[in-house]
């Protein structure tokens, strides 16, 4: 693209955007204006999006509201607006700071202290007079080790537990909590990745199985300790050790646990040795076979055997296994159990022959899966978009390969949610977005306006 062409495109884009904004201002639809504002941040839309106190309250509580609009609302927020903004996860740090400057009540300060965007405010809130606020600070994952250290010395069980589980808690904090906390605090310390080695050694040998179990779950546990805990007398401790990602599957070679619950956990692990996989595939426990049938490390020949398992849930697992070869998918496409066939219908790598077999299926789960599958022929997608069941029809709205005719059918769908999902598609044709901008449902107009604004802003 040369410079002149780019300039023309920019002008065209600006014109389209300007026309859309003019239109939304003229119609005065607050939901459409809100949708477009999220993409354009055009000041002309603010008064349309926030025309009344009721609408300002709605936006202040909406997690989909643009951050700078929430920041604007925080500038002159009264008590109800302040509370809603403090609770809204989308409220940015600048707005939270503004709210805090207004000296809000403890309830609001507690919400700010727990807010994911409150990181820079936490040192100040850690000195708050309210214990509830300080508890919320220790429970905030953004709290630094300095903030945690300052609070961990308080004699409060909740603060101690929060501190023991805080991601930034360092060795000295954890040592203090191990020595001063109750069994629950000590258990959380034993599970913490920053837990000092000497404490882990104590935890590994602890009499209380809760502490050993939490220790076995520690992702930073040294191999030797983990291997010892794999042989623990307590089933729950062994289970926690098997779940622990610190040990790779190939280290679990000799496992032949008497507990079916533990063997199920083995079957969920990746990189298991072949012999162990074979043993688990022949396990008498249905759930062990269900789990191993989903395991992508299972060789094709063994998957073939599992595909003939008398338990339909095992066959469903095979149909969802990423390593399932095409010939097995074709075989499972004719399975008597609809949920197994639906598993194949969802596969984008299913052979054409398998999809062809499923096209005449009447089961709603199979049709819904075909509706989502980009490999389903366009004419069939159009038919699914007209299905009597609204849940089946909706599947096509999620399909990235849905043909324009099928999408046009969905634009007229009587079920509002189906139109709302359609309106949120990135590739929605401008003509359909324009139509949905007049929709009676606010969430549809919101999504359609956002769609049009994005297209206008990025048109090239």
Partner 1 sequence: MANLIVIAEQRDGELRETSLESIAALKAIKQADDQLAVAIVAADPQAHAGALSVDGVDEVIAIKATDDFQPDLIEAVIVELAKERKPSVIAVAHGVDAWSFAPAAAVKLDCGLATDVLGLKIEDGELVATRAGYAEKVLVDVDFPGKETVLLTIRTNVFEPAEGSGSPKVTEMDPPEADVATTHEGWKPPADAGGIDIGGAEFILSIGRGVGDESNVEQYLELAESMGATLGCSRPIADNGWLPKARQVGQSGQLAANCKLYIAMGVSGSVQHQWGMKHVDTIVAVNTDPEASIFSIARYGIVGDMFEIAEELENHF
- Looking up tokens 């162990």 gives 276
User: What is the spatial distance between Cα 365 and Cα 346, in angstroms, rounded to a whole number?
Assistant: 10
Contacting range for partner 1; rule: CB under 8 A; set: 123-131, 301-309, 313-321, 425-433: 313-321
Per-residue binding string, partner 1, 411-440, x by CB under 8 A, is: ----x-x-----------------------
Q: Is 231 helix (H, G, I), strand (E, B) or coil?
A: coil
For partner 1, the binding residues in 340-379 under the rule CB under 8 A are 342, 345-346, 364-365, 368-369, 372
Tell me how far the alpha carbon of residue 127 is from its chain's centroid: 34
User: Which of 297, 398, 403, 441 is close enough to bind partner 1 by CB under 8 A?
Assistant: 398
Q: How far is the CB of 7 from partner 1 (least distance, A)?
A: 43
The reply on whether position 184 binds partner 1 by CB under 8 A is no
The reply on whether position 64 binds partner 1 by CB under 8 A is no
The reply on whether position 87 binds partner 1 by CB under 8 A is yes
Report the residue number, 84 or 445, with the smaller CB distance to partner 1. 84
For partner 1, the binding residues in 125-164 under the rule CB under 8 A are none
CA distances from 216 to 2, 160, 273 (A): 62, 21, 22
Count other C-beta atoms under 10 Å from residue 387's C-beta: 17
Report the residue number, 150 or 371, with the smaller CB distance to partner 1. 371
User: What is the spatial distance between Cα 335 and Cα 383, in angstroms, rounded to a whole number?
Assistant: 23
Report whether 351 contacts 375 (CB < 8 A): no
Q: Residue 193 has which token pair?
A: 């990745």
Q: How far is the CB of 69 from partner 1 (least distance, A)?
A: 18
User: What is the spatial distance between Cα 153 and Cα 187, in angstroms, rounded to a whole number?
Assistant: 18
Report the residue number, 276 or 342, with the smaller CB distance to partner 1. 342
Q: How far is the CB of 46 from partner 1 (least distance, A)?
A: 25
Q: How far is the CB of 140 from partner 1 (least distance, A)?
A: 12
DSSP 147-213: HHHHHHTSS-HHHHHHHHH-TT--HHHHHHHHHHS-HHHHHHHHH-TT--HHHHHHHHT-SSHHHHH
Positions in the binding site for partner 1 (CB under 8 A): 87-89, 114, 213, 236, 239, 243, 261, 264, 268, 287, 290-291, 294, 313, 317, 320, 337-339, 342, 345-346, 364-365, 368-369, 372, 390-391, 394-395, 398, 415, 417
């Amino acid at each position: 693209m040369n410079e002149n062409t780019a300039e023309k495109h920019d002008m065209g884009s600006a014109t389209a955007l300007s026309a859309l904004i003019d239109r939304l201002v003229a119609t005065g639809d607050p939901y459409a204006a809100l949708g477009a504002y999220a993409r354009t941040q055009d000041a002309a839309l603010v008064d349309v999006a926030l025309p009344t106190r009721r609408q300002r309250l709605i936006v202040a509580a909406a997690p989909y509201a643009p951050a700078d609009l929430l920041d604007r609302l925080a500038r002159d927020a009264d008590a109800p607006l302040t509370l809603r903004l403090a609770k809204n996860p989308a409220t940015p740090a600048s707005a939270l700071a503004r709210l805090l400057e207004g000296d809000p009540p403890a309830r609001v300060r507690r919400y700010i202290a727990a807010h994911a965007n409150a990181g820079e405010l936490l040192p100040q809130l850690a000195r708050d007079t309210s214990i509830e606020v300080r508890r919320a600070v220790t429970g905030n994952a953004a709290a630094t080790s300095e903030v945690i250290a300052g609070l961990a010395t308080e004699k409060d069980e909740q603060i101690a537990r929060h501190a023991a589980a805080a991601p930034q808690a360092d060795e000295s904090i954890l040592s203090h909590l191990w020595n001063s906390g109750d069994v629950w605090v000590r258990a959380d310390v034993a599970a913490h990745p920053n837990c000092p080695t000497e404490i882990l050694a104590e935890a590994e040998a602890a009499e209380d199985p809760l502490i050993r179990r939490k220790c076995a779950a520690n992702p930073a546990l040294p191999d030797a300790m983990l291997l010892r805990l794999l042989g623990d007398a307590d089933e729950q401790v062994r289970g926690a050790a098997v779940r622990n990602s610190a040990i790779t599957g190939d280290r679990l070679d000799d496992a032949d646990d008497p507990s079916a619950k533990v063997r199920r956990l083995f079957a969920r692990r990746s990189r298991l040795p072949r012999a162990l996989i074979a043993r688990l595939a022949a396990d008498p426990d249905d759930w062990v076979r269900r789990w191993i049938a989903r395991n992508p490390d299972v060789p094709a020949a063994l998957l073939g055997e599992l595909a003939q398992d008398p338990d339909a849930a095992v066959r469903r697992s095979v149909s969802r296994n990423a390593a399932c070869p095409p010939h097995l998918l074709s075989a499972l496409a004719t399975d008597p159990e609809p949920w197994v066939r639906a598993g194949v219908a969802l596969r984008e790598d299913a052979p054409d022959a398998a999809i062809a077999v499923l096209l005449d299926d009447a089961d709603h789960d199979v049709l819904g899966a075909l509706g989502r599958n980009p490999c389903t022929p366009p004419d069939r997608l159009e038919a699914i978009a007209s299905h009597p069941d609204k849940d089946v029809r909706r599947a096509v709205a999620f399909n990235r390969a849905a043909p324009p005719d099928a999408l046009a059918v969905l634009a007229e769908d009587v079920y509002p949610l189906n139109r709302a999902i359609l309106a949120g598609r990135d590739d929605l044709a401008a003509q359909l977005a324009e139509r949905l901008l007049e929709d009676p449902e606010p969430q549809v107009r919101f999504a359609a306006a956002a769609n049009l604004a994005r297209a206008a802003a990025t048109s090239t």
